[in-house]
């Protein structure tokens, strides 16, 4: 685990190493990109194992696709185009051309970039923006979510083996390290995560007037039109919501269905999910909830909805003893027309619950979305 003092030392080292007048050359940037690529390719089984250990149960194929292939694809694309990107771009001079004046745009690096990645895709959302920043000539420091400590520790260890801290470094630690990390005098700070934490990051960065990029979750709706292909639509909704047990910020958070098609879609979605996940316990393809706090939060949402009389449909085809607190497994649950003041209607769910609302006209559906909390 990184101490606050060690974090400051690495930050100061990168600040000293960065020189705006002499940014990293094309060759130096490609070298760092190759080192990150080797870090991933050489250690795919170890990275998958670490993430599975942090979750307790998670689909290895999902880890491969969601966490490891993205940075590799980005590196390949960047190396294909980087030489051209770093060249000055000639611009039209307008009337100034009559004087023989030529105009060029020079793309200059910013300096030292901080990146904070979330637990649901801790490697991808750390390394993907990192390779882009490095390609632009910046130095990079990464803080991986404390909710995935084994993954964070492994990526830190590997980065120390494959890279030089003056170019790229990983820091680990709990919330106190994250708070100090976001308060450093970055040239740019990138954060991916929840809205409430995003507010804290933005507040910590404000005294330094740090440019901040926030990639936050929210209430992502899906509107199903009356003439939609029902089988295909139900399959897409079911598979989207079940990925990583709903712990994906771009998942469908709630669905709007035509009132007269509700029961048919409920049957189709239930059948689709039962086919994809006939069992939950010891099913490596079904992800556990990341930690006890998140598990309790999701169960609290379901308990509140149940107490208020919400129609809840638990999809448990094998009649297993779930929710399972020891394994942090919660079955996929449909919540039909929950009251607007319930947590599952107001807050981002980020778990295996799909709220379904009905509408009678498209204008009504649009008005519902516009009046709904979206972050």
pLDDT greater at residue 22 or residue 119: 119
pLDDT at 97: 59
> Which range has the worst mean pLDDT, 137-146, 234-243, 287-296?
234-243
Q: 126: domain CATH number?
A: 3.40.605.10
What is the domain count for the chain?
2
- Catalytic residue at 304? no
Q: Mean pLDDT throughout 100-111?
A: 84
> Which range has the worst mean pLDDT, 64-68, 74-78, 105-109?
105-109
Q: 231: domain CATH number?
A: 3.40.309.10
Q: Mean pLDDT throughout 89-116?
A: 80
Could you give the CA distance from residue 224 to residue 254 in angstroms, rounded to a whole number? Answer: 11
> Which range has the worst mean pLDDT, 83-92, 191-200, 250-259, 273-282?
83-92
Same domain, 206 and 261: no
Catalytic entry in 46, 108, 174, 215 = 215
Same domain, 233 and 210: no
Q: How confident is the model at residue 201 (pLDDT cuts 50, 70, 90)?
A: very high
Same domain, 358 and 232: yes
pLDDT at 372: 76
Q: Mean pLDDT throughout 352-370?
A: 96
375 pLDDT higher than 80: no
Same domain, 337 and 362: yes
92 pLDDT higher than 80: no
pLDDT at 100: 62
Could you give the CA distance from residue 74 to residue 80 in angstroms, rounded to a whole number? Answer: 10
158 pLDDT higher than 60: yes
- Residue 70: how many CB atoms within 10 A of its CB? 18
Same domain, 127 and 75: yes
> Structural domain of residue 55, as residue ranges?
4-216
Same domain, 17 and 156: yes
Nearest to 27 by CA among 82, 101, 98: 82
pLDDT digits (tens, 9 = 90+) for 165-190: 999 999 999 999 999 999 999 999 99
pLDDT at 219: 87
Nearest to 17 by CA among 147, 177, 137, 154: 137
96 pLDDT higher than 60: no
Pick the last residue of a domain from 183, 216, 249. Answer: 216
Same domain, 235 and 210: no
Taking each helix axis as running N to C, give the angle between helix 4-17 and helix 175-182, from 0 to 180 degrees, rounded to the nearest 10.
30
Same domain, 187 and 227: no
Same domain, 161 and 266: no
Could you give the CA distance from residue 158 to residue 162 in angstroms, rounded to a whole number? Answer: 6
295 pLDDT higher than 70: yes
What average pLDDT does the chain have? 94
Pick the last residue of a domain from 193, 216, 239. Answer: 216
pLDDT at 139: 96
Same domain, 243 and 179: no
How much of the chain, in percent, has pLDDT values that exceed 70?
Answer: 97
94 pLDDT higher than 70: no
98 pLDDT higher than 90: no
pLDDT at 249: 86
Count of positions (residues) in the chain: 375
Same domain, 34 and 169: yes
Pick the last residue of a domain from 170, 187, 216. Answer: 216
Question: What would the two tokens of residue 364 be?
Answer: 């009504």
Same domain, 34 and 135: yes
- Catalytic residue at 249? yes
pLDDT at 147: 96
pLDDT at 311: 98
């Amino acid at each position: 685990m990184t101490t606050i003092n060690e974090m400051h030392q690495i930050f100061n080292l990168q600040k000293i190493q960065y020189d705006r007048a002499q940014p990293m050359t094309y060759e130096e940037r490609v070298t760092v990109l190759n080192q990150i690529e080797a870090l991933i390719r050489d250690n795919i089984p170890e990275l998958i194992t670490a993430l599975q250990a942090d979750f307790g149960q998670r689909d290895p194929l999902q880890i491969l696709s969601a966490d490891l292939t993205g940075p590799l694809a980005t590196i390949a694309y960047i190396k294909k185009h980087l030489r051209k990107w770093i060249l000055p771009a000639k611009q039209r001079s307008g009337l100034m051309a009559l004087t023989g004046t030529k105009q060029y745009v020079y793309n200059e690096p910013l300096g030292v970039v901080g990146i904070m990645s979330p637990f649901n895709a801790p490697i991808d959302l750390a390394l993907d923006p990192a390779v882009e920043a490095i390609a632009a000539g910046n130095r990079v420091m990464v803080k991986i979510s404390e909710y995935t400590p084994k993954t964070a520790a492994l990526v830190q260890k590997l980065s120390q083996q494959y890279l030089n801290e003056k170019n790229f470094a990983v820091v680990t630690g709990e919330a106190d390290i994250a708070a100090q990390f976001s308060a450093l005098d970055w040239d740019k700070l990138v954060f991916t995560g929840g809205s409430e934490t995003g507010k804290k990051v933005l507040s910590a960065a404000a005294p330094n007037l740090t440019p901040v990029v926030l990639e936050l979750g929210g209430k992502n709706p899906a509107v199903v039109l009356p003439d939609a292909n029902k089988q295909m639509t139900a399959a897409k909704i079911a598979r989207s919501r079940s990925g990583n047990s709903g712990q994906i910020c771009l998942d469908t958070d709630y669905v709007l269905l035509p009132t007269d098609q509700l029961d048919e879609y409920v049957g189709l979605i239930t059948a689709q999910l039962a086919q994809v996940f006939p069992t939950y316990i010891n099913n490596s393809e079904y992800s556990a909830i990341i930690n006890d706090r998140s598990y309790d939060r999701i169960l609290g949402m379901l308990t509140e909805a149940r107490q208020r009389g919400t129609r809840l449909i638990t999809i448990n085809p094998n009649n297993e003893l779930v929710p399972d607190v020891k394994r942090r497994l919660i079955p996929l649950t449909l919540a039909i027309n929950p009251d607007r003041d319930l947590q599952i209607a107001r807050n981002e769910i980020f778990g295996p619950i799909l709220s379904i609302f009905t509408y009678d006209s498209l204008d009504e559906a649009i008005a519902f979305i516009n009046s709904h909390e979206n972050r």
